[in-house]
Amino acid sequence: MSSSRHEPGGRLALFVLICSAALLLPLALPLLQGRVFVYNDLTWFHLPLRHLYQQALWKGDSLLWTPAIFSGLYFHGEGQTGVFHPLHLLLYRTCSLQTAFNLELLANYVAAFTGTWWLLRRLRFDQGPALFGAMLFAFSGFVLLHHHHLNMVAVVAHLPWLLGAADVLIVEDRRWPRKLAFAALALILGSAFLIGFPQAVWWDAIGLAAFAALRAGERGRWLALIAVAGAIVLGVLLGGIQILPSADAVAHSDRAATSADFALSYSLHPLNLVQLWSPLAFIRGAHSVGDYMWLHEFGIYSGAVLPVGLAWVWTRRAALAERRTLITGATVFAALMLWLALGRYAGLASLLTHLPVIGALRAPARYVVLMQFALAILAAVAVEDLVAIHAGRREPAVGRPLLPWLPALLGVATTVGLNGRLLPFGRHIMASVASAAPGVALMAVVTLLVLLAGRRVRWALPVLVLITAADLGAYGIGFVYREPARSIARLMVPVRPASGRPDETYAAAPEGGQYAKNVLVLRGYRLTTGYVGFFPAVRHPIGGERSLQLSGTRWSFTPEGFRRPWPDGVARARLLDEQGQEAAGRLQLTGDRPGYLSASVHVDAPAILAFTERYHQGWSVTANGRPIEPVRVEYDFLGCRVDPGVTQIELHFAPPSFRNGVIVSGAGVLLLAAVLVVWRP
């Protein structure tokens, strides 16, 4: 008796799994080699902040505040480390920094792959097409090009899981699967919030709303959307421990007064649509006007099979009766997301700038992730059709379909007109014909393979899978490896480690070079500059001379990593009179840990105890055990009043936004448990 793996679909599933493992392996190599990927925000931002996070976990320090960025930052409120996410707590408490960092990155791709596979299986796809769609999304252009935006990709990886849970809740008749799906939907959404990238949660919400409406309409189960909405509400409550602190951080940052121009920055220029049929058309991979040309923001290619698959399913739509609603819905959704991605060039995204909260989210080009997700599903439909034709369950296409050749024909026209310099624009940004032609040739080869597979040529489908995996790897994995992985120790050569008391470790990072942004915290420095998503709103510009002075800077660094003394920084703690001049008295700093400061003082007249710690209203102060109000020192820095007779000052960072967030999340847990007990679906 032959097993299913010897059938066409079974062999295809095994082959797709092998190709997917081959795509995952290069992402896992740094873990095996004792290295980490270092491109862009991975070393400028994520690795340093996770180092601080791990140190706080290991030493029992506060997870809410760090003195190592900007001379003080609401660390948890900034959000992008996801400090209370269970996976992060487990990884960074139990593993080395290098291991935890790699496992966090790998988890994103595994979650995206398994979630998409499960979703497509829920939609009654066979194993082979379901795994193919999972490969297309997990290793899509967006997900790989944004590998250095760890938490963004992590939230995106929640999308198929959210859709799968919603599908169970809408479609299933049995009580316990619906209950479990309700809980899963709430918990998955709560997990997405805890990761700490609200913009990507918005994308997930768009995808979830569209999919839930599609499935409810297909099955005529509109009332099931009430349960979906209830689970979403509970998911928001579960995420309260991150949502409220992030809202606090935004309210006290320069994001609090964003303009429409800021929100529409990184809009996708329409000329970038050329990438969909000619991936090598541009000299730099993509095109931008007015914004820095980051390929990871403007690169929208995700495999030749996506446009070809789209054309194929519309050619075959009459034969795909059971998939017509999905084909129409996914196509319309992909078109809308592309329209949003065009940002200022198309108008739809401009309307969103008038919405509260959503209007502050920038980079419309990132909506392309939802377009790629929808097209990956359509490509899975195309492969499902090809497998059915191969197995004899469907008849091949009649005649010679022309629509699938449209992407290749557009590629030829682009190569001749733009790359061949026949048209009078784009000459400074378009690649040569020789450089662009291989991308168009790939489009033609993929089209030919789809058509051959549609005529039951046995070898065409596995070759299509192989070329698709190679295409994704060359584009996405190739981008990841533009900057080779390095060991953390090697990354910090030749920076001298910080030593001595904490007040002797305050340093200003260079404005450019390898050691810019937050990297120096890996050597034990507390930075008086820094780089985060939500820059604090300040009076004295961060990095300016007065800010460096008041934040107690002791060192400045060159772009090459060499340090030199910076002599003008004030003492870590000092006594001032009402005019801001040095006051008489005795002062000894007795405690200096993240989120905690203490000092012994003696003054004969009222004075201000001033710290180089940055001010936040979440600081509480006690004088001899009695609460007093903190004060601002030159607006940006922390202080408190000291009266004669006061001998001990203690300061703790415990903002109301965190306390309220804990209450909201706790309420979410209790409500979820109550719903699961009393609800009879």
Residue 23 is classified by DSSP as H
CATH topology of domain 573-658: Jelly Rolls (2.60.120)
509-558: pLDDT as tens digits: 998 888 999 999 999 999 999 999 989 999 999 999 999 999 999 999 99
Q: Which residue has the tokens 């405690």?
A: 591
Query: Which residues, including other chains, have CB under 8 Å from residue 128's CB and lie 6 or more apart?
Result: 8, 9, 10, 11, 12, 13, 16, 383, 384, 387
Beta-ladder partners of 50: none
> CA–CA separation, 471 vs 483, rounded Å?
19
Q: How far apart are CA 525 and CA 522, in angstroms?
A: 7
User: Strands of 648-653's sheet, edge to edge?
Assistant: 586-593, 596-602, 648-653, 619-623, 626-628
Token pair 């005019």 is found at 579
Res. 10 pLDDT band, cuts 50 70 90: confident
User: How confident is residue 2, by pLDDT bands cut at 50, 70 and 90?
Assistant: very low
- Asked if the peptide bond before residue 494 counts as cis, ω within 30 degrees of 0, the response is yes
pLDDT, residue 401, reads 87
CA-CA distance, 488 to 366, in Å (whole number)? 30
Domain coordinates in residue numbering, the chain: 262-455, 492-565, 573-658
Q: Are residues 35 and 99 in contact, defined by beta-carbon separation less than 8 angstroms? A: no
Return the pLDDT at 3: 39
Cβ of 383: how many Cβ atoms within 10 Å?
Answer: 30
Residue-wise pLDDT for 25-80, tens only, equals: 999 999 999 999 999 999 999 999 999 999 999 999 999 999 999 999 999 999 99
Residue 8: pLDDT band (50, 70, 90) is: low
pLDDT in tens, 106-151: 999 999 999 999 999 999 999 999 999 999 999 999 999 999 999 9
Residues 601-652 have pLDDT tens digits of 999 999 999 999 999 999 999 999 999 999 999 999 999 999 999 999 999 9
Written as six digits, the tokens of 259 are 């303009």
For 380, which DSSP code? H
Residue among 126, 198, 110 at smallest CA distance from 160: 110
pLDDT at position 489 over 50: yes
**Three-state secondary-structure class, residue 550:** helix
* Residue 5: per-residue pLDDT: 40
Helices 224-238 and 240-251 sit at what angle, rounded to 10 degrees? 60
* Alpha-carbon span 423 to 440, nearest angstrom: 18
3-state secondary structure of 235: helix
| Bond from prior residue into 541 cis (ω within 30 degrees of 0) | no
Tens of pLDDT, residue by residue over 409-448, are 999 999 999 999 999 888 899 999 999 999 999 999 999 9
pLDDT of residue 254: 83
pLDDT in tens, 185-241: 999 999 999 999 999 999 999 999 999 999 999 999 999 999 999 999 999 999 999
- Pick from 298, 454, 9: nearest CA to 446: 454
